């Protein structure tokens, strides 16, 4: 268990500081109670402003994650040597491979963008006694599968994303974190995600940063718009429980919201940085899903999704904006398993699959992008300009 006797005082101090002053200088101390202070510089885990966090500290009293749960980060690659990531790397049996790079066509995807490493840190950075941050599920196994390159066309990125999804499915992923998306239906992508469903794999997807109502047919955003029961779609909120202006929404096609503004996490080079967007929000929900599966390995993807949706903190700002009407609460979701004894008592109604005629659409091969640009254009072929603030130089030296 975590030693948290300094938590309340620390959080009160942090809440009073401007965000720019909360820097990522890792704590170098053997005392877990002192090191734990640094973990909460990610306000989405725990904070004192408007109850906007996911209740991670209370959740960790029930579950901290399991190495048996494999989370695939389908993204821009991963810094496998980052001190907060290295301990939680998944490895292919009999090899040192921690994933695959469909851009370069070889194992072990290097992150030349930062986005993938940032997302991985939010959902699964290891909690250690000397330095760094903590992920939501800080004892899971992280698999990295790279599909995105700024040098590729949207068509190339989409083709690679489909390959990446299938690779993760075939190599033992239990949960897939996917921040990419676009306005085009893809029969190949839909088929891959149905195959994931049939194998019991959950996909946690970003709602997108297009500032639009994704329930409108002209604004459908995939993969969220496929409406398969193994997909949970995530919007983003800020520390004041308001939806980010850039976040997509939709009472039917977007399930929940999670913290997504100025989130501190890992970036390549043993560094830390702040980023914003539905990608960051998605990683929080992936971490929550990993905690649930760690606690009960028999949960189906639809049960995990519905447990998360049924155990949110309702917010006026999210009423009629997301299916659940609220922000995720990891503690409440885990506690519901203890109360119910079985997941079937906590589920809510499933969303139906798309009508069959949707499958006859021509598969489009454009518009695949990473959800990290606050004002990405729907017409852009790929928009990934990272909106982030680097942490202090001291973090670079000490980590």
Structure token digits, residue 195: 């195959």
Residue 99 CA to residue 97 CA, distance in Å, equals: 6
Note the pLDDT of residue 335. Answer: 98
Structure token digits, residue 386: 């990272």
Phi-psi region of 140 (alpha: psi -120 to 50; beta: other; left: phi over 0): beta
Note the pLDDT of residue 49. Answer: 73
Q: Which residues contact 398 (CB under 8 A, 6 or more apart)?
A: 25, 26, 28, 131
Domains and CATH numbers, the chain: 42-398 (3.40.50.200)
Running along the chain, 399 residues long, what does each successive block of 10 average in pLDDT?
35 32 27 40 81 93 97 98 96 97 98 97 86 92 97 94 98 97 95 98 98 97 96 97 97 98 96 96 99 98 98 97 98 92 45 36 44 41 37 31
Task: Kindly calculate the radius of gyration of the chain based on its CA atoms and give it in whole angstroms.
Answer: 19
Note the pLDDT of residue 368. Answer: 59
Global pTM? 0.82
Q: Which one from 55, 82, 113, 115 is the annotated catalytic residue?
A: 115
Return the SS3 of 260: coil
The question of whether 75 is a catalytic residue gets the answer yes
Return the SS3 of 117: helix
Q: Which one from 25, 52, 53, 75 is the annotated catalytic residue?
A: 75
The question of whether 279 is a catalytic residue gets the answer yes
The question of whether 115 is a catalytic residue gets the answer yes
Structure token digits, residue 152: 């590729």
Distances (CA, A) of 89 to 39, 85, 109, 164: 19, 7, 12, 17
As beta bridge partners, residue 237 has 243, 259
Note the pLDDT of residue 282. Answer: 99
Residue 293 CA to residue 140 CA, distance in Å, equals: 10
Beta-sheet pairing, 180-181 with 369-370: antiparallel
Q: Which one from 246, 279, 324, 399 is the annotated catalytic residue?
A: 279
Q: From start to end of the chain, where are the E strands?
A: 70-75, 99-101, 106-107, 141-146, 175-178, 180-181, 202-206, 231-237, 256-259, 263-267, 271-275, 312-314, 326-328, 369-370, 388-390
Give alpha helix (H) positions in the chain. Answer: 7-15, 32-39, 56-60, 115-124, 154-170, 187-198, 278-295, 301-310, 330-340, 393-398
């Amino acid at each position: 268990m975590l030693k948290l006797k300094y938590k309340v005082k620390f959080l009160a101090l942090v809440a009073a500081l401007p965000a720019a002053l909360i820097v990522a200088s890792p704590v170098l101390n053997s005392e877990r109670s002192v090191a734990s202070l640094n973990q909460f510089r990610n306000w989405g885990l725990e904070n004192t402003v408007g109850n906007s966090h996911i209740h991670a500290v209370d959740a960790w009293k029930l579950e901290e994650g399991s190495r048996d749960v494999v989370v695939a980060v389908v993204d821009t690659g991963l810094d496998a040597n980052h001190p907060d990531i290295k301990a939680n790397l998944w490895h292919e049996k009999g090899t040192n491979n921690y994933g695959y790079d469909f851009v370069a066509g070889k194992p072990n995807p290097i992150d030349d963008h930062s986005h993938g490493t940032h997302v991985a840190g939010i959902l699964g950075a290891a909690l250690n006694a000397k330095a760094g941050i903590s992920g939501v599920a800080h004892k899971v196994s992280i698999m990295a599968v790279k599909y995105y390159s700024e040098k590729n066309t949207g068509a190339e990125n989409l083709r690679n994303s489909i390959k990446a999804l299938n690779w993760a499915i075939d190599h033992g992923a239990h949960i897939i974190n996917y921040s990419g998306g676009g306005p085009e239906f893809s029969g190949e992508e839909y088929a891959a995600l149905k195959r994931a469903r049939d194998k019991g794999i959950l996909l946690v997807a970003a709602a997108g940063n297009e500032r639009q109502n994704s329930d409108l047919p002209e604004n459908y955003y995939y993969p969220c718009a496929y409406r398969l029961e193994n997909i949970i779609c995530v919007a983003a909120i800020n520390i004041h429980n308001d939806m980010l202006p850039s976040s997509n929404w939709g009472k039917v096609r977007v399930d929940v919201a999670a913290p997504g503004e100025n989130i501190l996490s890992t970036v390549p080079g043993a560094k830390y940085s702040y980023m914003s967007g539905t990608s960051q929000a998605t990683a929080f929900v992936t971490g929550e899903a990993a905690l649930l599966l760690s606690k009960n390995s028999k949960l189906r993807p639809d049960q995990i999704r519905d447990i998360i949706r049924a155990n949110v903190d309702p917010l006026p700002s999210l009423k009629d904006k997301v299916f659940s009407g609220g922000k995720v609460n990891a503690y409440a979701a885990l506690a519901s398993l203890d109360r119910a004894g079985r997941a079937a008592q906590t589920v809510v109604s499933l969303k139906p699959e798309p009508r069959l005629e949707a499958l006859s659409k021509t598969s489009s091969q454009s518009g695949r992008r990473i959800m990290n640009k606050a004002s990405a254009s729907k017409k852009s072929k790929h928009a990934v300009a990272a909106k982030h603030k680097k942490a202090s130089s001291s973090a670079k030296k000490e980590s």
